[in-house]
Amino acid sequence: MTTTSLWFGNYDVAVVVWVSLVLWVSALDNGLGRAPPMGWNSWNTFHCQVNQKLIIQTAQQIKAWKLDQLGYRYVNIDDCWMSMTRDNGKLVADPQRFPNGMKWMGDYLHEQGLLFGIYSSAGVRTCAGYPASLGHERVDAQTFADWGVDYLKYDNCFNLQQPSIVRYAAMRNALNATGRPILYSLCQWGTEQSWQWAASMGNTWRTTGDIEPHWSSIVGCFWQSQQQHADQSRPGAWLDPDMMEVGNGNLTWVENKSHFSLWILAKAPLLLGNDLSQLTPELFSIISNRELIDIHQDPDTPQATCYVGCDKTNWCAPNVDGEHIIHESDFYICNPTTTTTATTKDDEPCGHSHHNNNNHNNNNNDEDYSILATTRKGKHDNVIVALIINWHDTETLQLQTWNAVQILGVAPFPNQRVMIRDLWKHASVRKQSRGGDRMVIDNDDDNDDDDDDDDDKFTFDDLQHVPIPPLAPHDCLVYSFTTIPAVAAVASNSIGGILDE
């Protein structure tokens, strides 16, 4: 058995040895989370104003908009659902909020073809101060199983400063012992070097503090997760930069679109956090992008790698004190590999930096834009999916062409061509004309991949001159690049240099 350096504060060697044995002997093997989970969670909009009526109405909206057919099936009840006291040692629902109880609630959701998610914390109290599961792991896990729970979000508040690795392993083992597959979501905030052990604990694991519905928070959560831990993401153990804020706060349509795109490429859980009774066709057009969802739900498509504009070290990483209510107070460190305790700083959600509250474009080590890309299996061969995003708060991004597209692995041989598709316009990029170093392109509104149509096929030389549309502040585009043989007789159509870094 190999050893690894993990943080255990002042805990003695016996605890460290015991934890090493826990990791070696047991692991999460529930067969769940082969693709990142999709659904809805109550916290971001409703906080403690959660009740049976809300959950029923939300389930009805999911069915009415056919969100379940897109993959949004988990309906997750966050904090504040429980009574302030246990009944014979067991957690019970607040009778005013959930008069029919949680078993009835789970049965109702299952009858709708949906899945039932619930919340607790690896501490003596939840973040809102309700009874939690530290020391009650086996009885609580069995209670959840008896209720038909399909998903457990397990928070980190009031944890008595006990090592996370011990507390989260205890609930993992308790869930395994019930015999019921329950997706296990670690809301551990990315502390105590969780990237070294969390993948053996949960199907998803938080890498950040809490997100809030404004652009700087969304960007901060994304970068903290992406920059530190992207290589740890895999089927059954996905990174979690927190639930989505699409449709919340004062986010613009462009910011909602970019937020959704970033979470897609990050292979993050797609958990809606908005009031679905207020869902508009415009917002629905974002969260229902089937082409992006298909990429997100493909287990063989890895989390995207950053290729351009990747140095975001001036974004401070949030951390939190386990004895404080994290939904109200966060504090920050600029080295996320360090675990510490500090005075809380109110009203600074995930992603704020101390020196710059909103506009991070003045950071000397920041690019004006970033390019991230991943690869997936396609009709012809591997398909490159690339995102370009404009970080500017006020300026439109004017990139000239895809003249560096080969860094993404799009480097067709002379006998190959590349088809480009705009995954937000749902249209192929087509050539109209070319003059010198500039090419005029157009989008075809249909979904036709007709191999006999040459105006949507680009040579390697063409790719150096394909213009990139201007991007408004905070906007993004997502393109797919499919390399195909130039003629049917060509036997090989492999992409050279395909994202193998």
Query: Which residue numbers are catalytic?
Result: 155, 210
DSSP type of residue 443: E
Contact (Cβ atoms closer than 8 angstroms) between residue 154 and residue 76: no
Rg, Å, the chain Cα set: 24
Angle ∠(417,423,63) on CA atoms, nearest 5: 145
DSSP H helices in 98-214:
101-111, 137-147, 164-178
Closest CA to 459 of 478, 433, 426, 485: 485
Under DSSP, is residue 298 helix (H, G, I), strand (E, B) or coil?
A: coil
Contact (Cβ atoms closer than 8 angstroms) between residue 58 and residue 107: no
Strands lying side by side in the sheet with 329-333: 317-319, 329-333, 345-346
Contact (Cβ atoms closer than 8 angstroms) between residue 216 and residue 351: yes
Token digits for 87? 């009944």
Render the burial of 33-68: b for 16+ CB within 10 Å, e for the rest.
bebbbbbbbbbbbbebebbbebbbebbebbeebebb
Closest CA to 173 of 27, 31, 24, 15: 27
* Torsion sign (Cα): 90, 107, 327, 206: positive
Q: Which residues pair with 151 in a beta bridge?
A: 117, 183
DSSP type of residue 442: E
DSSP type of residue 454: G
Contacts of 445 (CB under 8 A, 6+ apart): 425, 426, 427
Integer Cα distance of 307 and 141 in angstroms = 42
